[in-house]
Amino acid sequence: MTATKQNAAEYLTATMPSPDFRGFCFNKALFLKQRSSEMFNTERVPVKVYRWDDAGAPKLTTDAGAFKTVLKACLVTGYGEGENRKEPLGWEIHQETETAAYFRSKHEKSSKPYLLVNGSSSGYYNIVSAKFKVSADLQPHVANDNVAAETGNSVNELNCRSRRDWVLIGNERGFWLVVGSKYERSRPGIGYKTTPSATALFFGDFASAAPFDVSNAALMTITLSDYSISKSFNSTATFSGGVDNNIPTKARIRSLMSFDSGGNEAVDGIAKKLIATPFYFFEGGNLRGLVPGCLGASTSWFSENNCFEQYRLDNSPDEFLIFTTGYAEKDGVGRNFLINLTAWDM
């Protein structure tokens, strides 16, 4: 059977690898019979890194438009002067206001969905935040409080409280924005604990397992919710469309290991080393694609001072940015994530 754009959805249902076909699921873990490289036709795409502490980089202030300003600088205008100049990733911006804008990739391989960012702030609580939503078309702006999800679509949100650290990693087709925060929890008998943590957002293309996928882009966040990533991480991911349409639809994410809160299954019990595994997008129980540039592991790393740090894996020449969604001593709360700082399979 030769797939065409007209019958791509039917082909997806009939032939896309499912957990039953490629492996099996147990305790929310996906066990594959084949390597990712055998399931996806990918290429390594280099990425650029933008940081809050670069010369001339915009800051995440408490202004309502702070998130939009950071994205515009990294994606559209660049920042810095002379030898400190950092060129942008080459995206385009539409319908810009002081606090909101639409961003879109200009790359020829992109399915070209729009990303809406709409910011707000609370000076009293020292919080700046933004809501994000994927759209096939440009829509009139609404107030931040009125940014709402439609059927099949989600509204993603990032917050920055007290810490002002951020790192954007990306290319012409997608980006990760990692934002510093702080994790706070009062534990009985131990007291109040505050440690650096981070949240992250991805928007852009992904390597699809479906031939002729016309909407292989996604929007997703990594946050800490109710001391577990399971709810927020799995429910706020959205495809820019189906395999043969541009109607946003919910995505689900699975990894090679369980990510239930409190476990240490991603730490090698013998070598005591962190084990990192990729994530995969699922739609309707079928494998849709590979999450670009992101690996996950259970809690084994945290920092008392930094929201994120550079990290190396033993079997990879690439550099990674590692961060945790939250940590308190012996608490088992929060999860580690690594974003590739060198190149992504897309």
Residue 333 to residue 346: CA distance in whole angstroms? 31
H/E/C letters for each residue in 215-282?
Answer: CCEEEEEECCECCEHHHHHHHCCEECCCCCCCCCEECEEEECCCCCCCCCCCECCCCCCECCEEEEEE
- pLDDT 10s digit of each residue in the chain, 346 long? 333 333 333 333 333 333 333 443 333 444 444 555 566 788 999 999 999 999 999 999 889 999 999 999 999 999 999 999 999 999 999 999 999 999 999 999 999 999 999 998 876 567 788 999 999 999 888 888 788 877 778 888 887 777 779 999 999 999 999 998 776 666 667 667 777 788 899 999 999 998 889 999 999 988 765 333 433 444 568 999 999 999 999 888 887 665 543 444 445 555 556 778 888 998 888 889 999 999 987 655 667 778 888 888 888 899 999 988 765 555 555 678 899 999 999 9
* Paired tokens of 187: 């534990």
Pairing of β 114-122 and β 100-104:
antiparallel
Task: Spell out the domain ranges in the chain.
Answer: 18-345
* Paired tokens of 76: 């559209």
Alpha carbons within 13 A on the beta-carbon side of 254: 21
Residue 250 to residue 240: CA distance in whole angstroms? 9
